[in-house]
């Protein structure tokens, strides 16, 4: 399985900073280089933040290479419009991009986000009381986290496709174009929308480039853009870059008064999902989780400080009430089902220790025995994030107990004592010869 993260082997020093940061314990250091266990990886990007050597990066495509092939069409994440102090509305960003010969899909994007909010509002209204709250699918890392660690919550995920994909589909439907579209991503999780989407066979977007990479080009060129005669571009979609924006959008399109909850940050997300799993969120209709601080603007692939992005977004004039024309358009699009996920989202449980319960119980007992012998200080020197993880790797046949430096030292010390004892046992004949001299 693929991940949204690339390892730059030459830069990896084999330190163990990253393995500790991983919320699903998906990293190991083997032979002095970091490895990702892709079964467990949720693409959250925490390891990128913890790496001082820049040995981990977004697995993005080469923007210069894409540019050299001619004109480019972008499906930009909402965070892209919060990166620049000069181009602070989608209309201004559009003009700046156009001056570099780059085409945006802002209008389709705005419609697709409206449609996603509209469709999700309908799902909440139609859901039975027991199946609430529903959970947002917008953050792909949250979807993967649920697949890996909270499979019991999968049935609560909304059936709405990410509007970044739907926007591209809308554009293709209207123009009939099969030109390549490049997703501009703020994080490693959204890289996977193109590389290995969940809930559909294949993405209709061909490439993926980080917000940071594109913003750098735009800032370097620094095109002068005047604010006159701007296209009116909808702005509700921009709110999704911040925690709570999706919920606000859904509320605006909901016929009923609904209760939503929005959290950001990995720890908060895990805590909230745990509460949800234990049935403690009664009375909540919709849950929006983002693994990055403050929401998508906190993604590792952005150029701008998340705090400045937040400030800029808070100053965006957003008209939450849709016009009659927009409403009619949405109702029509809703009927087409273009907003729907193609496939149900499947669990991705961590493989059990063995194929049969009997065998697994034996291995688990061995694992506990191995664990009991380890020092329990989770130093990471064995290349695993914790002593528990080493014990598990040992019973899975993916490591040795002597990978632990403390166990190794113990064995060497035992061996040393044996050598000393042995060296004292000189052959009798040798003693005699010594005396003779």
Partner 1 sequence: MDSHYEVEFTVRGDDFLAAGEASNQIKETLIMLGVPSAISRRASVITYEAEMNLVIHSGGGTLRAVITPEKLTIQATDRGPGIPDLHLAMREGFSTAPDRVREMGFGAGMGLPNIKRNSDNLEIESEVGKGTTLTATILFHEGPGDRR
Chain positions contacting partner 1, by CB under 8 A: 151-152, 274, 277-280, 347, 349-350, 352-358, 360-362, 364-365, 367, 392
* The pairing of beta strand 5-7 with beta strand 56-58: antiparallel
The distance of closest approach from Cβ of residue 374 to partner 1 in the complex, given in angstroms and rounded to an integer, is: 17
CB-wise, 349 or 416, nearer to partner 1? 349
Q: Write out the two tokens for 353.
A: 């220790």
For residue 192, give the nearest of 60, 57, 15 by alpha carbon: 60
DSSP-based three-state secondary structure for 12? coil
DSSP-based three-state secondary structure for 160? strand
CB-wise, 152 or 400, nearer to partner 1? 152
The distance of closest approach from Cβ of residue 353 to partner 1 in the complex, given in angstroms and rounded to an integer, is: 5
CB-wise, 230 or 354, nearer to partner 1? 354
Cβ–Cβ < 8 Å for 251, 285: no
CB-wise, 369 or 415, nearer to partner 1? 369
Cα 347 from Cα 144, distance rounded (Å): 9
Cα 366 from Cα 361, distance rounded (Å): 9
The distance of closest approach from Cβ of residue 348 to partner 1 in the complex, given in angstroms and rounded to an integer, is: 11
CB-wise, 280 or 431, nearer to partner 1? 280
CB-wise, 2 or 271, nearer to partner 1? 271
The distance of closest approach from Cβ of residue 192 to partner 1 in the complex, given in angstroms and rounded to an integer, is: 23
Residue with tokens 């961590």: 350
CB-wise, 159 or 277, nearer to partner 1? 277
Cα 12 from Cα 293, distance rounded (Å): 26
The distance of closest approach from Cβ of residue 341 to partner 1 in the complex, given in angstroms and rounded to an integer, is: 21
Cα 341 from Cα 416, distance rounded (Å): 63
The distance of closest approach from Cβ of residue 403 to partner 1 in the complex, given in angstroms and rounded to an integer, is: 20
Upstream peptide bond of 11 is cis (omega within 30 degrees of 0): no
CB-wise, 360 or 379, nearer to partner 1? 360
Cα→Cα distances 283→276, 360, 431, Å:
11, 39, 89
**53 CA to centre of own chain:** 21
The distance of closest approach from Cβ of residue 358 to partner 1 in the complex, given in angstroms and rounded to an integer, is: 5
Tell whether the torsion through CA atoms of 382, 387, 392 and 397 is positive or negative. positive
The distance of closest approach from Cβ of residue 268 to partner 1 in the complex, given in angstroms and rounded to an integer, is: 16
DSSP string covering 162-197? PHHHHHHHHHHHHH-----EEEEESSHHHHHHHHS-
């Amino acid at each position: 399985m693929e991940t949204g993260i690339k390892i730059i082997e030459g830069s990896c020093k084999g330190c163990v900073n990253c393995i500790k940061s991983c919320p699903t314990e998906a990293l190991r250091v083997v032979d002095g280089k970091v490895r990702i266990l892709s079964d467990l990886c949720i693409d959250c990007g925490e390891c990128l933040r913890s790496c001082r050597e820049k040995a981990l990066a977004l697995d993005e495509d080469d923007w210069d290479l894409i540019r050299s092939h001619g004109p480019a069409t972008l499906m930009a994440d909402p965070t892209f419009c919060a990166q620049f102090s000069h181009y602070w509305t989608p209309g201004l960003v559009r003009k700046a991009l156009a001056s570099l010969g780059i085409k945006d899909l802002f209008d389709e994007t705005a419609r697709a986000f409206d449609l996603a909010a509209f469709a999700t509002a309908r799902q909440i209204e139609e859901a039975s009381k027991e199946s609430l709250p529903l959970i947002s699918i917008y953050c792909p890392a949250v979807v993967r986290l649920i697949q890996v660690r909270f499979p019991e919550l999968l049935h609560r995920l909304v059936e709405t496709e990410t509007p970044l994909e739907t926007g591209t589909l809308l554009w293709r439907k209207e123009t009939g174009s099969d030109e390549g579209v490049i997703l501009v991503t703020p994080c490693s999780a959204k890289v996977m929308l193109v590389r290995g989407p969940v809930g559909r066979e294949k993405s209709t977007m061909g490439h993926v480039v980080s917000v940071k990479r594109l913003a750098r080009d735009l800032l370097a060129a620094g095109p002068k853009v005047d604010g006159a005669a701007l296209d009116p571009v909808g702005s509700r979609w921009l709110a999704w870059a911040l925690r709570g924006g999706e919920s606000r959008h859904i509320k605006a399109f909901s016929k009923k008064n609904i209760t939503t909850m929005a959290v950001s940050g990995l720890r908060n997300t895990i805590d909230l999902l745990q509460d949800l799993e234990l049935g403690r969120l009664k009375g909540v209709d919709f849950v929006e989780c983002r693994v990055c601080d403050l929401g998508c603007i906190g993604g590792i692939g952005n150029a701008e400080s998340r705090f400045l992005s937040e400030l800029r977004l808070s100053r965006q004039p957003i008209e939450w009430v849709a016009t009659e024309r927009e409403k009619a358009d949405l109702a029509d699009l809703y009927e087409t089902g273009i907003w729907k996920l193609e496939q149900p989202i499947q669990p991705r449980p961590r493989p059990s220790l063995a194929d049969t319960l009997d065998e697994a119980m034996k291995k688990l007992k061995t694992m506990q025995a191995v664990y009991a012998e380890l020092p329990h200080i989770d130093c990471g020197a064995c290349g695993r994030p914790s002593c528990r993880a080493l014990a598990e790797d040992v019973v899975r046949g993916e490591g040795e107990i002597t990978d632990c430096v403390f166990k190794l030292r113990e064995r060497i010390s035992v061996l040393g004592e044996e050598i000393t004892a042995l060296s004292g046992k000189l052959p009798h004949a040798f003693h005699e010869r010594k005396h003779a001299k």
